[in-house]
Amino acid sequence: MTLRTRLAVGAAVAVAVTVIAASLSAFLVTRARLLSDVDQSLQQQVEKVLHDGRAERIPRGPFRGGDRFGGPQFASQVITASGVLDGASPLPGDLPVTARDKAVAAGTEPDYFWDANINGVPVRGLTARLGPVLADGTGAAYEVARPIDEVRSVLSGLGIILLVVAGAGIALGAGLGWFISGRALRPVAMFTDETEDLADAGDLSRRLTEGGDDEIGRLARVFNATLDQLEASADAQRRLVADASHELRTPLASLRANIEVLQQAGSLPPEEHGALLRDVVQQTDELTALVTDIVHAGENANMPEEVQDVRLDDLVAASIERTRRLTPGITVLQDLSETVVDGVPERLARLVANLLDNAVKWTPADRPIEVRLHDRTLTVRDHGPGFATDDLPHVFDRFYRSPAARGMPGSGLGLSIVRQVADIHGAAVSAGNADGGGAVMTVVFPPLSEFDDN
C-alpha cells in the first residue's frame, strides 16, 4: 500500500468514525427525546386519575385487534394485587398484566415504564401506584399505554437518512483524502524522483532542489549536506590515493634499482655489496613506515564506538618511555598533570607518538625535547631550527615536506595524522616557533562536558 493510499484510508477511517459517532448520537438523542414526550403524556394521564380520586370510574380501554387504536388514543385499566379491577374476562387487545404490575398495586414495587406489542401495534405503557383509592381502602395501580408506531416511523426514517448521510460522508472523506494526500505528497514524490535520478547517475556533485522551509525542504537541505560530506570524503580519498601513488613510486623505483644491482652481485666488491644490502633494508623499512602512515591517514575520520575516558598523562608518559627506548641518545623532559579526556586510546597514542617522532627528527643530540601537559593542553617543543615562515601554513598538509626535510626519513604524513586525530576528538592543534628557537606543537583538548563525538 502506497503512502498516498494509507493517508486516504486513514482520512476515510477518521471521517467514518466521526460521522458514525455523530449519527449514532443524533439517533439516540432523538429517540430519547421522542420517548420522553411519550412518557410525559403517560404521566399526565396518571395525574388526571389521581386528581379524580375514584379508580372505579376509569373505564377499561382495550386495544381492538387491527384497528390501530381506532378508539381512544390511550388505553388503560386499574389493577389490584389480585388482577384487573372489575375482574372481567380478558378481551383481545387488553393491556398485559404481569406479576410486577400486581406488585406495584400492592406497593412493593415502584412505578415503571414498559414496552409491548399488542395486536401488532408497538405500545409504550406506564404502571403507576394510585394508593388506597378504592372504596374498601385497597391499594391499586393504574396501567395506561399509548401507541408509539409514529415514533418508530420517525426513528426508522431518521435512521435511513443518517445511514445515507454517513455513507456519503465516508465516500466524500475518502475522495478528499485521496485528492489532498496527492497534493500534499507531490513534493515527496518529486524528492523521491530526484534522489532516484541522483542515485542512478552516481554524480556526487549534483544536489536536490531545497524548496521552502517545510519538512521536505529541511530534508532536502540535510540530504544535500550529507552529499557535501560524502563528496568531500570521496575527494579526500581520491587525493590520498593519488598522493600515495606518487609518494610510493620513488621508493619502489629505488628499491627495484638496488635489487637489480644485487642480481649482479658476483661482479661487485664486497664493500659495495654490503652497502647495497643495507640500502635495501633501509628502503624497505622506509617503505613499511610509509605504508603504515598511509593506512593511518586513510582511516575513517568518524569517531568509532569505543570512546572511553583516557588518562592522557599516563598515555603521554608511556609514549615518552617508548621514545627514550627507541632513541637512547635523546633527552625528553616531561611535566605532566593528571588529565582525563574522552577518546580512543590507540588514536591518541598515535597523535602523541607522531609529535614525539617529529621532535626527535629535528632535535640535536645534545638538546632536550620538552613535553608539558597542563590545563588540558599538550605541548611538545624541540630545539631544532623551527619552522620556516613559508612552511607554517602547510605543516599539517598530507605528504607535505619542507625543503629541509626532503633529505630526511619520513613520509610527510605524521603531522597530518596528528591533525586528523585531534579533529575527531574535538581538539585544536597548532604549530609555531618557540622563543629561543625550536618548534612547538600545541594540542588543546575540550572539557569533558563539551566533547562532541559527531
Residue with the larger pLDDT of the pair 116 and 49? 116
Evaluate whether residue 151 is within a structural domain. yes
239, 266, 296: which is the final residue of a domain? 296
247 and 341 assigned to the same domain: no
CATH (domain of 243) = 1.10.287.130
Q: By C-alpha distance, which of 58, 63, 59, 103 is closest to 80?
A: 103
Evaluate whether residue 182 is within a structural domain. no
**Four-point Cα dihedral 444, 446, 447, 453, nearest 10:** -150
CB-based burial, 134-146: b 16+ in 10 Å, e otherwise: beeeebbbbbbbb
Residue 125 burial (CB < 10 Å; 0-12/13-18/19+)? buried
pLDDT tens, 43-72?
A: 988 888 777 655 555 555 555 433 343 334
pTM above 0.85, yes or no: no
What stretches of 327-445 show up as alpha helix (H) in DSSP? Answer: 345-362, 414-424
C-alpha cell at 320: 615518552
130, 156, 182: which is the final residue of a domain? 156
pLDDT value at position 428?
Answer: 94
Q: What number of residues does the chain have?
A: 454
> Does residue 127 carry a pLDDT above 50?
yes
Q: By C-alpha distance, which of 357, 356, 237, 241 is closest to 301?
A: 237
Residue 405 banded pLDDT, cuts 50, 70, 90:
low
Evaluate whether residue 385 is within a structural domain. yes
C-alpha cell at 329: 641518545
236 and 330 assigned to the same domain: no
Percent of the chain with pLDDT over 70: 76
- Stretch 83-88: mean pLDDT: 62
How far is it, in rounded angstroms, from Cα 58 to Cα 76? 8
271, 296, 321: which is the final residue of a domain? 296
> Strands 140-147 and 75-80, how do they pair?
antiparallel
Residue 129 bridge partners (DSSP)? 141
- Stretch 338-353: mean pLDDT: 89
Give the structural domain span for 278. Answer: 215-296
Q: By C-alpha distance, which of 303, 310, 445 is closest to 374?
A: 445
Centroid of chain to Cα 325: 53
Q: By C-alpha distance, which of 296, 362, 273 is closest to 288?
A: 296
Residue 452 banded pLDDT, cuts 50, 70, 90:
very low
279 and 328 assigned to the same domain: no
pLDDT value at position 64?
Answer: 44
The C-alpha angle 63, 149, 100, rounded to 5 degrees, equals 55
Evaluate whether residue 376 is within a structural domain. yes
Q: Which residue in this structure is represented by grid cell 420517525?
A: 154
Terminal alpha carbon distance of the chain:
36
Evaluate whether residue 230 is within a structural domain. yes
Residue 451 banded pLDDT, cuts 50, 70, 90:
very low
pLDDT value at position 279?
Answer: 73
Count: domains in the chain: 3
